[in-house]
């Protein structure tokens, strides 16, 4: 008979892609949480062998986590009893596809009551989980809860309060950096999203249409369209090494293409047509203005525009 991982109240999902040093630092910080009833699903997104071996060596030489290493294909038949499962994915499935390896498993199996999606390039405060639970328990209509992000190398500087607002006219998602501006948000930042397992099952896993960027905005929008609110905790925080593994041209390409995809998916025809005119004029103006100074930047913008319009 198939077994399942030992049940904990909270399951934390981490994704590694050649970010082994960040991942290990994140795992170390989770050891210091006041809240201890959690297990971890650490998915490796087909990293270089050096990254995988670095994490394996770390796990072998510590005594906080009981762990096993399996492949993503073995996950559905897993019957162990550990508090950290290191799952090796055989492809780089992007942010959504990589995290969904664990999220799909949690949806199908009764192994937790709550789920936390957490970036591996973060470290957490000791009261971080307590703040998430307290905010969620304030309101029965809450779907996702985020937490304040501080810059990793500027610990007193707020990166985002954990949520943001969508500019539907221009297809932009804008992170909020000042507390108490909003009671509920249009989206929760994907580096930290907390929810009960029942909400995950209702909303479903992350859309894999985006590969990276905008999938958190999409996920949040699906939750809001079901009538739920999105909140951020009042205390506890994470320190985030923003974009440490993403090249700037990749960021520009996916942000450009995916904002178009998002608007096409969630806007009515009139609103999308208006946005489409705006984004074409904006990208062409930006590309031509910068072509002599940085032709690769301009070409990347154009490629992102074409990909988004064709999607």
Per-residue pLDDT, averaged over 59-65, amounts to 96
Residue-number span of the structural domain to which 141 is assigned? 10-147+185-236
Same domain, 224 and 256: no
Q: Does 242 reside within a domain?
A: no
Q: Does 243 reside within a domain?
A: no
Q: Does 95 reside within a domain?
A: yes
Burial per residue of 226-254, b for 16 or more beta-carbon CB atoms within 10 angstroms, e otherwise: eebbbbbbeebbbbbbeeeeeeebeebbb
Mean pLDDT computed over every residue of the chain: 94
Helix (H, G, I), strand (E, B) or coil at 189: coil
- CATH number, domain with residue 60: 3.90.550.10
Per-residue pLDDT tens for 267-287? 999 999 999 999 999 999 999
Same domain, 50 and 193: yes
- Reported in sequence order, the residue ranges of the chain that DSSP labels E, i.e. its strands, are 10-16, 38-44, 67-71, 84-88, 114-118, 122-124, 142-151, 154-160, 163-167, 172-175, 187-188, 192-196, 229-240
Q: Does 23 reside within a domain?
A: yes
Q: What is the dihedral of CA 261, 264, 265, 266, to 10 degrees?
A: 120
Q: Does 171 reside within a domain?
A: no
Residue 105 has pLDDT above 60, yes or no: yes
Q: Which two tokens stand for residue 149?
A: 């992000």
Same domain, 96 and 75: yes
Predicted local distance difference test score (pLDDT) of residue 5: 55
Same domain, 297 and 225: no
Per-residue pLDDT, averaged over 94-106, amounts to 96
Q: What percent of the chain has pLDDT over 70?
A: 96
- Name residue 117's beta-bridge partners: 13, 193
Predicted local distance difference test score (pLDDT) of residue 4: 52
Predicted local distance difference test score (pLDDT) of residue 56: 98
Residue 228 has pLDDT above 50, yes or no: yes
Same domain, 225 and 271: no
Same domain, 191 and 302: no
Q: Does 208 reside within a domain?
A: yes
Classify strands 163-167 and 142-151 as parallel, antiparallel or unpaired: unpaired
Classify strands 84-88 and 38-44 as parallel, antiparallel or unpaired: parallel
Taking each helix axis from N to C end, the angle separating 295-310 and 248-266, rounded to the nearest 10 degrees, works out to 30
Predicted local distance difference test score (pLDDT) of residue 7: 63
- Give me the residue label for tokens 């942010």: 95
Q: How many residues are recorded in the chain? A: 311
Q: Which two tokens stand for residue 298?
A: 């301009």
Distance CA 25, CA 244 (A): 14
Same domain, 121 and 206: yes
Same domain, 195 and 306: no
Same domain, 219 and 272: no
Residue 91 has pLDDT above 80, yes or no: yes
Residue 1 has pLDDT above 50, yes or no: no
Predicted local distance difference test score (pLDDT) of residue 211: 85
Per-residue pLDDT tens for 110-125? 999 999 999 999 999 9
Label residue 133 by pLDDT band (50, 70, 90): very high
Label residue 305 by pLDDT band (50, 70, 90): very high
Q: Choose the weakest-confidence range: 78-82, 137-141, 244-248.
A: 244-248
Per-residue pLDDT tens for 236-269? 999 999 754 445 888 899 999 999 999 999 999 9
């Amino acid at each position: 008979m198939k077994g399942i991982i030992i049940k904990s109240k909270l399951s934390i999902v981490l994704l590694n892609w050649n970010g082994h040093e960040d991942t290990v630092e994140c795992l170390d910080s989770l050891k210091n949480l006041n809240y201890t009833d959690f297990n971890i699903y650490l998915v490796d997104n087909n990293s270089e062998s050096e990254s995988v071996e670095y994490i394996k060596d770390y796990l072998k030489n510590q005594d906080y986590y009981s762990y096993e290493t399996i492949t993503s294909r073995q996950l559905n038949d897993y019957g162990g009893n550990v508090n950290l499962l290191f799952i090796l994915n055989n492809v780089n499935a992007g942010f959504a596809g990589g995290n969904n390896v664990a999220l799909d498993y949690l949806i199908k199996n009764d192994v937790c009551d709550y789920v936390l999606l957490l970036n591996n390039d973060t470290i957490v405060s000791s009261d971080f989980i307590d703040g998430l639970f307290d905010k969620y328990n304030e309101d029965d209509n809450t779907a996702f809860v985020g937490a304040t992000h501080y810059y990793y190398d500027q610990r007193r500087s707020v990166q985002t309060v954990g949520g943001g607002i969508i500019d539907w006219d221009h297809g932009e998602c804008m992170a909020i950096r000042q507390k108490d501006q909003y009671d509920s948000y249009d989206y929760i930042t994907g580096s930290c999203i907390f929810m009960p397992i029942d909400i995950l099952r209702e909303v479903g896993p992350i859309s894999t249409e985006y590969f990276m960027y905008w999938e958190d905005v999409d996920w949040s929008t699906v939750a809001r369209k079901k009538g739920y609110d999105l909140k951020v905790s009042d205390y506890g925080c994470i320190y985030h090494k923003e974009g440490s593994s993403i090249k700037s041209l990749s960021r520009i390409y996916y942000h450009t293409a995916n904002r178009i995809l998002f608007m096409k998916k969630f806007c009515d025809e009139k609103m999308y047509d208006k946005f489409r005119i705006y984004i074409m004029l904006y990208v062409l103006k930006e590309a031509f203005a910068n072509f002599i100074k940085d032709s690769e930047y301009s070409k990347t913008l154009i490629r992102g525009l074409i990909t988004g319009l064709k999607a």
